[in-house]
Amino acid sequence: MENYSEKVMDHFMNPRNVGEIKNADGIGEVGNPRCGDIMKMYIKVKDNRIEDVKFLTFGCGAAVATSSMITELIKGKTLEEALDISNRQVAEALDGLPPIKMHCSNLAEQAVKAAIEDYKKKNEK
């Protein structure tokens, strides 16, 4: 097994933006308990920008760290910019992930996309 980078360990030990947002504008939940990873992303949107974001994660060190990192990457960004952030960027921002953990960064990307989709759906009318 490969070791985690210091950045991963920092985000794992001190995750940023943990929690729920009451009255969130969009919520995305991905993963499933069978695989041992569930991420739930809450976003608050103002003038097309992600004003606030919080997450809850059930999962391994990489799952927590990627959730934490992606919240930092998308905070303050426009929805389009947030949708553009790829799992690769998340992994790079964490100074890399062990190959077997790459799916965790995928999950983080999907969670953000699901939250934005949820926001868009709610604001279609």
Partner 1 sequence: MYYFDNSATTKIDKEVLDEMMPYLTDKFGNASTIYSLGIESRSAILNAREKVAKALGCNSKEIYFTSSGTESDNWALKGVAFANKDRGKHIITTAIEHHAILHTCEYLEKQGFEVTYLPVGENGIIDIEVLKKEIRKDTILISVMAANNEIGSIQPITEIGKIAKQRGIYFHTDAVQAVGNMNIDVNESNIDLLSFSGHKINGPKGIGVLYIREGVNIDNLLHGGGQERRKRASTENVAGIVGIGKAVELATKDIGRKREYLINLREKCIKGILDKIPDTIVNGDREKRLPGNVNVCFRYIEGESLLLHLDKLGISASSGSACTSGELNPSHVLLAIGLPHEIAHGSLRISMSKDNTEEEVDYLLSVLPEIVQKLRDMSPLYIKNK
Determine, following the binding rule CB under 8 A, whether residue 72 of this chain makes contact with partner 1.
no
Q: Which of 6, 20, 51, 92 binds partner 1 (CB under 8 A)?
A: 20
Distance of CA 40 to the CA centre of its chain: 8
Catalytic residue among 2, 6, 32, 35: 35
Which stretch in 14-22, 43-51, 71-79, 86-94 sits in contact with partner 1 by CB under 8 A? Answer: 14-22
Residues that bind partner 1 (CB under 8 A): 1, 4, 9, 12-13, 15, 18-20, 29, 33-40, 55-64, 100-101
List, by residue number, the catalytic residues: 35, 104
